[in-house]
C-alpha cells in the first residue's frame, strides 16, 4: 500500500510519543533526497529517516544507517547549523494530508531559543523535505520549485512557506457523521470508490479495507446500503482506526515482504500476512529495507549480467573465427603434397607455365592432378612457395588450436559466472562474483576511497530433504570451492555433467533413494540445464573429487561417479524446506 495519509497518521502518533523531548545529536544526508536525524530520547538512540524519493517517499524510525558522502551537501550543513543540539518540541500531521511537521527548538548564534520546523511532504514524485524558520519562511529544501516548474506554489529559500493546495476532501479525524452522510449521498456507485474520492489521505487499498470492514463485502454498492447507518458506522470506525493493531507485512512465496499495512487487512483474507508487534516504524523499516536491498541487487545484477553477456558474445565470435581458421588450415597437407609433387617433376616443368599436370603418387592408381603455378616463378620457386604456405598453415593451426582452447575455457568460465549470477540472493554473493570477474580482467576494478570492512563470506542454499537430511547447494564458484573443500570424504557430491551448475553436498553418510533424487533435482535445477529435460547429474563420494593446482574457483575433476538423468522440477524445489540462503 502506498505511504498514504492513514499510514502517516500512525507514524505521527508513534513519533510524537517517542521523539518529543529528545535531543538531535546529529543530522546526515546519505542520499540527495534522504535526511537522517539521530535523536537521543527516553534513554534510547533513535534514527529518524525522512525520504522524498518519488518511489519511496516516507517518514519513520529506522535501524539502518547508510554511508554518508565525503562532503556533506549544503542542505545537510544548514540543518546541522539550525537543528543539531536542539530539542524536539512537537510532532504533528497537518490535517489529514500527507504532511508531517517536526518542531525543533535550538539556540541561535546569540544564545536565544529558536524553533525551526522540519516539514516532510509525502506526495509521490512531488514529495519534499523543507526546513522552515520561526518566521514561517523557507530556509532550504531538498527540491527547489520555481515558477517554471509550478505556477501554483514555489518552494525556494527565503519565500514564505505555503501548504500545498487542498483537495477539498473531508478530514477523517474531524468530519462528523452528517458530513460523511452528505459525502456518501452525493457519490453513488461503489462504496470504496466513494470513500477514496471523498475522504482525504486514503489510498485505494485503505478505502477498500474500510468498505469491507463496514459491509463485509468486497464490492459493496451504495445503492444496496442503508447510507445513514453506513455513515454512522463509518464515523465510529474512523474514531477507532488508530486502535487497530498490529501493523502487518504481506509476504511472497520467497518470504520477502511485498507490501506493508498499518493494521490487519481483513479484505485481503487468504493472502500470507506477518504481524509486526514492534510497531509501524519497524514494519515500514522491514519493508523498505527489503525493497531497497532487492532493487540494489537487481541493479548490480543487471550490470554484471550485461557485462557477462557482452564478453560471452565476444568469445563466441572469436571462437567462430578460430574454428574457421582451423578449417582453413586443413589444406596445409595439400600445400605440402603440391610442393613435393612439383619437386619430383622439375625436369618436366618450365618457368612461365600456368599449371603442372603430374601424377599424385600419394594416392592409389596415381591419378593425374593439376597444380596451379605462378608464371613469374621458376619450378623450384613454385615448390618453395607451396612449402612456405604449408609451414604458415601449420603454424596457424597450432596457434588457432591453442587460442581455441583458451577461448573455450574463457567461455565456460563466463557461462559459469552467468549461471551463478542467476542464483544470487544476497549482496555479498554479487560481490564475490564481481571480485572474481575483476581478478580475471573482465570487470574493471574500482578503487574506493572509503576503507571497506572485510566482508563476511556468503552462505550456500541450505535445504532439508523429506527425511530431514541436510543438503547444501553452492550459489557461485567461490561457494562451490568452499562447500566441496569443507565436506567430509564420505559425503555425496553432485554436479550437472558437462555444464555450469552448483556443487551439491548431501550431509549424511547414509542416504535414502528419495533424498538422492531430491538432491539430484536441486543439482539439475541450479544448473544451466534448468529448462532442459533429462539433465545428466553425476554423483560420487567427496573423496573422489579433486581440485587441480592453479585451477579456477569451482573447477574440479572427479572419478568413480554414477549418473542420474533428471528433468528439473521447480515445484519440488519450492516444496522442500529452505533452512537458509
Q: Tell me the DSSP string of 326-367.
A: HHHGGGHHHHHHHHHHHHHTGGG--TT-SEEEEE-TTSTT--
What's the pLDDT at 449?
A: 45
Q: Which residue has the higher pLDDT, 256 or 466?
A: 466
SS3 state at 563: strand
Beta bridge partners of 137: 160
Q: Which residue has the higher pLDDT, 542 or 125?
A: 542
Beta bridge partners of 251: 257
Query: For residue 405, what are the contacts with CB-CB under 8 A and spacing of at least 6?
Result: none
Q: What percent of the chain has pLDDT over 90?
A: 61
Closest among 260, 235, 240 to 250, alpha carbons compared: 260
Is residue 401 scored above 80 in pLDDT?
yes
34-50 mean pLDDT: 95
What's the pLDDT at 448?
A: 53
**The dihedral sign for the CA sequence 465, 470, 475, 480:** negative
Query: For residue 151, what are the contacts with CB-CB under 8 A and spacing of at least 6?
Result: none
**Structure confidence at residue 508 as a pLDDT band (50, 70, 90):** very high
**Rounded to an integer, what distance in angstroms lies between the CA atom of residue 139 and that of residue 512?**
71
Residues 509 and 491: beta-carbon distance below 8 Å: yes
> pLDDT tens, 290-306?
888 778 778 888 889 99
Is residue 440 scored above 60 in pLDDT?
yes
pTM: 0.67
Residue 246, preceding bond cis, omega within 30 degrees? yes
CA angle 104, 122, 257 (to 5 degrees): 110
**Rounded to an integer, what distance in angstroms lies between the CA atom of residue 219 and that of residue 1?**
19
Is residue 423 scored above 90 in pLDDT?
no
**Rounded to an integer, what distance in angstroms lies between the CA atom of residue 340 and that of residue 329?**
18
In angstroms, the Cα distances linking 37 to 26, 103, 124 are: 6, 13, 22
Q: Which residues of 221-248 are buried (b: 16+ CB within 10 A; e: fewer)?
A: ebeebebeebbebbbeebeebeebeebb
CATH architecture of 5-141: Roll (2.30)
353-382 mean pLDDT: 91
560-579 mean pLDDT: 92
Q: What integer best gives the mean pLDDT of the chain?
A: 90
Cβ atoms < 10 Å from Cβ of 205: 19
**Rounded to an integer, what distance in angstroms lies between the CA atom of residue 38 and that of residue 49?**
9
Helix (H) or strand (E) holding 524: helix 513-525
Residues 93 and 12: beta-carbon distance below 8 Å: yes
**The dihedral sign for the CA sequence 362, 364, 368, 371:** negative
Enumerate the CATH 2.30.310.10 domain ranges in the chain, comma separated: 5-141
Closest among 199, 179, 192 to 5, alpha carbons compared: 199
Is residue 501 scored above 70 in pLDDT?
yes
Amino acid at each position: 500500500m502506498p505511504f498514504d495519509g492513514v499510514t502517516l497518521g500512525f507514524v505521527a502518533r508513534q513519533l510524537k510519543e517517542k521523539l518529543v523531548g529528545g535531543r538531535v545529536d546529529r543530522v546526515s544526508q546519505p542520499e540527495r533526497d534522504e535526511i537522517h536525524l539521530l535523536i537521543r530520547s527516553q534513554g534510547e538512540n533513535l534514527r529518524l529517516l525522512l525520504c522524498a524519493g518519488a518511489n519511496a517517499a516516507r517518514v519513520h524510525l529506522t535501524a539502518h544507517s547508510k554511508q554518508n558522502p565525503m562532503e556533506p551537501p549544503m542542505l545537510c550543513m544548514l540543518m546541522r547549523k539550525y537543528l543539531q543540539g536542539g530539542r524536539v518540541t512537537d510532532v504533528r500531521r497537518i490535517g489529514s494530508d500527507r504532511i508531517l511537521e517536526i518542531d525543533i527548538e535550538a539556540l541561535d548564534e546569540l544564545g536565544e531559543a529558536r524553533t525551526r520546523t522540519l516539514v516532510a511532504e509525502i506526495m509521490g514524485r512531488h514529495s519534499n523535505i523543507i526546513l522552515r524558520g520561526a518566521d514561517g519562511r523557507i530556509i532550504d529544501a531538498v527540491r527547489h520549485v520555481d515558477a517554471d516548474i509550478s505556477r501554483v506554489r514555489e518552494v525556494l529559500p527565503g519565500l514564505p512557506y505555503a501548504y500545498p493546495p487542498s483537495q477539498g476532501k473531508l478530514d477523517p479525524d474531524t468530519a462528523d457523521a452528517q458530513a460523511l452522510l452528505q459525502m456518501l449521498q452525493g457519490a453513488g456507485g461503489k462504496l470504496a470508490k466513494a470513500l477514496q474520492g471523498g475522504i482525504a489521505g486514503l489510498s485505494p487499498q485503505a478505502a477498500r479495507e474500510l468498505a469491507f470492514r463496514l459491509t463485509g463485502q468486497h464490492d459493496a454498492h451504495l445503492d444496496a446500503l442503508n447510507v445513514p447507518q453506513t455513515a454512522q458506522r463509518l464515523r465510529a470506525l474512523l474514531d477507532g482506526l488508530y486502535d487497530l493493531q498490529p501493523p502487518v507485512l504481506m509476504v511472497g512465496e520467497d518470504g520477502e515482504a511485498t507490501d506493508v499495512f498499518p493494521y490487519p487487512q481483513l479484505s485481503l483474507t487468504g493472502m500470507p500476512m506477518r504481524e509486526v508487534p514492534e510497531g509501524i516504524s519497524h514494519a515500514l523499516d522491514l519493508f523498505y529495507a527489503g525493497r531497497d536491498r532487492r532493487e540494489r541487487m537487481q541493479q548490480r545484477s543487471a550490470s554484471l549480467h550485461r557485462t557477462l553477456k557482452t564478453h560471452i558474445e565476444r568469445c563466441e565470435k572469436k571462437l567462430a573465427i578460430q574454428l574457421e581458421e582451423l578449417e582453413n588450415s586443413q589444406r596445409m597437407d595439400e600445400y605440402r603434397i603440391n610442393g613435393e609433387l612439383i619437386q619430383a617433376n622439375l625436369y618436366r616443368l618450365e618457368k612461365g607455365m600456368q599449371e603442372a599436370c603430374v601424377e599424385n603418387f600419394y594416392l592409389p592408381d596415381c591419378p593425374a592432378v593439376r597444380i596451379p603455378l605462378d608464371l613469374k616463378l621458376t619450378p623450384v620457386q613454385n615448390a618453395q612457395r607451396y612449402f612456405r604456405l604449408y609451414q604458415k598453415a601449420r603454424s596457424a593451426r597450432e596457434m588457432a588450436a591453442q587460442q581455441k582452447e583458451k577461448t573455450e575455457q574463457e567461455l565456460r568460465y563466463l557461462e559459469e559466472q552467468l549461471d551463478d549470477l542467476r542464483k544470487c540472493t544476497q549482496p555479498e554473493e554479487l560481490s564475490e562474483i564481481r571480485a572474481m570477474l575483476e581478478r580475471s580482467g573482465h570487470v574493471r576494478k574500482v578503487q574506493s576511497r572509503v576503507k571497506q570492512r572485510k566482508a563476511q563470506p556468503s552462505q550456500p542454499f541450505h535445504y532439508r530433504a523429506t527425511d530431514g537430511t541436510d543438503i547444501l547447494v553452492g550459489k557461485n564458484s567461490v561457494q562451490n570451492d568452499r562447500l566441496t573443500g569443507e565436506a567430509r570424504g564420505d559425503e555425496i557430491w553432485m554436479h550437472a555433467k558437462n555444464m555450469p551448475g552448483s556443487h551439491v553436498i548431501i550431509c549424511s553418510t547414509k542416504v535414502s533413494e528419495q533424498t538422492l533424487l531430491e538432491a539430484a533435482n536441486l543439482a539439475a535445477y541450479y544448473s544451466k540445464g534448468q529448462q532442459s529435460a533429462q539433465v545428466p547429474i553425476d554423483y560420487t563420494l567427496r573423496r573422489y573429487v579433486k581440485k587441480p593446482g592453479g585451477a579456477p574457483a569451482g573447477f574440479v575433476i572427479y572419478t568413480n561417479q554414477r549418473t542420474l538423468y533428471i528433468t528439473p522440477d521447480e515445484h519440488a524445489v519450492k516444496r522442500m524446506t529452505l533452512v537458509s540462503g
